[in-house]
Amino acid sequence: MVEQYHNYVNGSWTDAETGESFETEDPAAPAEIVAEYQDSGVKDAGEAVKAAADAQDEWADTPAPERGAILRATATILTDRKDELTKLLTREEGKTHAEAGGEVQRAIDIFYYYAEKTRDLGGSVKSASGPRTNLYTKNEPVGVVSLITPWNYPIAIPAWKLAPALATGNTVVLNPASVAPGVALEIFDALDEAGLPDGVANLVTGPGSTVGDAIINHDDVDAVSFTGSGEVGHMVYDQATDDGKRVQTELGGKNPTVVTDSADVEEAAEIVANGAFGVTGQACTACSRAIVDSEIYDEFVESVVAQAESIEIGPGDEYDMGPQVTESELEGTLEYIDVASNEGATLETGGGRPEGERFGDGYYVEPTVFSDVDNDYRIAQEEVFGPVLAVIEVDGFEDGLETANDISYGLSASIVTDDHTEAERFVREVEAGVAKVNDKTTGLELHVPFGGFKRSSSETWREQGDAGIDFYTIEKTVYDGF
- For the chain, the distance separating the N- and C-terminal CA atoms, rounded to the nearest angstrom, is 66
* Residue 335 contacts residue 317 (beta carbons within 8 Å): no
287 is catalytic: no
Rounded to a whole number of angstroms, the CA Rg of the chain reads 23
62 vs 451: CA distance, rounded Å? 30
CA distance 132 to 179: 59
Closest Cα to residue 373, out of 297, 447, 427?
Answer: 297
How does DSSP assign 400-434, residue by residue?
HHHHHHSSSEESEEEEE-S-HHHHHHHHHH--SSE
Strands 434-437 and 29-38: unpaired
From the candidates 177, 284, 301, 469, give the one annotated as an active-site residue.
284
Contact 433, 412 (CB under 8 A): yes
Query: Do residues 304 and 291 lie in contact, with contact meaning Cβ atoms separated by under 8 Å?
Result: no
Is residue 37 a contact partner of residue 178, using CB atoms and an 8 Å limit?
Answer: yes
**The amino acid at 84:** E
Provide the CA 370 distance to its chain's centre, in angstroms.
Answer: 26
Active centre residues (catalytic): 284
